[in-house]
Amino acid sequence: MSISFDDTATAFAYKSDKELKQSRFLFSTMGYPLFVPVGTRLTPLLIRGKLPLINKIVRSTIFKQFVGGETLEETALIGDLLGKYGVQVILDYGVEGKESEVDFEYATEQFIKVIEYAATRHNIPFISVKITGLARFGLLQTLDEAPRLRSGIHDHEMEMDEWDRVRDRMYRICEVAAEKNIGVLIDAEESWIQDPIDRLTTEMMAVFNKERAIVYNTIQLYRHDRLEFLKMSHRIAIQENFILGMKLVRGAYMEKERARASQKGYASPIQADKAATDEDFDTATAYCIEHLDKIAIIVASHNEASNLKAVQLLKNNGLPLNHPHVHFSQLYGMSDNITFNLAKEGCSVSKYLPFGPIKDVIPYLMRRAQENTSVAGQTGRELALIKKELLRRKM
């Protein structure tokens, strides 16, 4: 294949020398052993303290690297810039972990506003939604733990009323998305709240995915049960005659999952090792590509080998790289060498672009910091590519 993820000229064409040097500084700092563990604990506390200096530092470093802006208007500038290079955008209003009905209703209104905005742009095919922005974590955990709730039978009327309100919020969001032809990607979350999210997402797909994929679920392949869940979801889609929308990721809660399993004494849902995760991810990708008549897939990966395998599968099967049921995606601020070179090759590819007030996107930013240090070589890889491009520009 002509594609090369070592082509830094293509990867960083959209960045100025100054911006590249700022990224180099950030990833260099994140490489220090104690920086991320200490920073992820202190930063949320300092932001809540509303200290102007801390706010300014966060805004000019990690926020600038990984977030589109605080408002849609700010984020539009990034979206337009990416569009010039054939890169699309998945907009993510960065709200999660709220607890009040007022907050949930406000978030619902914001998600609908984002959908309506996306429909006016040429390169925003999807938005992302976290159910923890629409429902209490405690409610989701109760639903996950009580089997009787899964059949719809429960003797706590208040909780069922609350869940009905969550379903109504999700329905309203999906209804507008279907009208505007904008995809809604439901994020995966911790395993102990995932079951009701899966069921709600499947319910929405059965309603809105009859003719095209509007609603997408997300599976984290670092869980050893998710490959079978994908196949089960496919069977349900066939039985109920809808298109299965599925975003494939490796996952973002591995340390938390293992720690909770150890603390509570149950078998960890996490794969035994990274090799098993990689194998399931690539197998899941191949499975989806084999069934594109009924599955729409988003390959959301920062793994170069997995992206290359997906592209090769499309070519081997005589399928266009911009097949309407195949999309690639990476997080904004990471793996530009993958995103921009996939776009150059003609793939449908996007940047996952969060936006929102700093205080609301702090949980997202802390996960990005942890991910860059927990994934073997991620920070080093980003840094090496940036240094390579800066050196190339000097020559």
| Residues in Cβ contact with 80 at an 8 Å cutoff, skipping those fewer than 6 apart | none
CA-wise closest residue to 304 among 78, 101, 77, 7: 7
- Report the domain count for the chain: 1
Mean pLDDT of the chain: 89
Percentage with pLDDT > 70 across the chain: 86
* Domain that residue 357 falls in: 68-362
The pLDDT assigned to 41 comes to 59
Assigned domain for 387 exists: no
Give the CATH number of the domain where residue 348 resides. Answer: 3.20.20.220
Q: What is the pLDDT of residues 131-180, one digit of tens each?
A: 999 999 999 998 888 765 444 444 555 688 899 999 999 999 999 999 99
Assigned domain for 346 exists: yes
Assigned domain for 307 exists: yes
Q: What torsion do the CA atoms of 194, 195, 196, 202 make, to the nearest 10 degrees?
A: 100
Assigned domain for 380 exists: no
Assigned domain for 80 exists: yes
β-sheet bridge partners, residue 223: 270
Assigned domain for 306 exists: yes
Assigned domain for 229 exists: yes
**For residue 40, how far is the Cα from the chain centroid?**
20
Question: pLDDT confidence of 1, banded at 50, 70, 90?
Answer: low
CA-wise closest residue to 387 among 24, 30, 31: 24
Assigned domain for 1 exists: no
The pLDDT assigned to 144 comes to 87
Identify the burial level of 349 via C-beta atoms within 10 angstroms of its C-beta, where 0-12 means exposed, 13-18 middle and 19 or more buried: buried
Q: State yes or no: pLDDT of 34 exceeds 80.
A: no
pTM across the whole model:
0.91
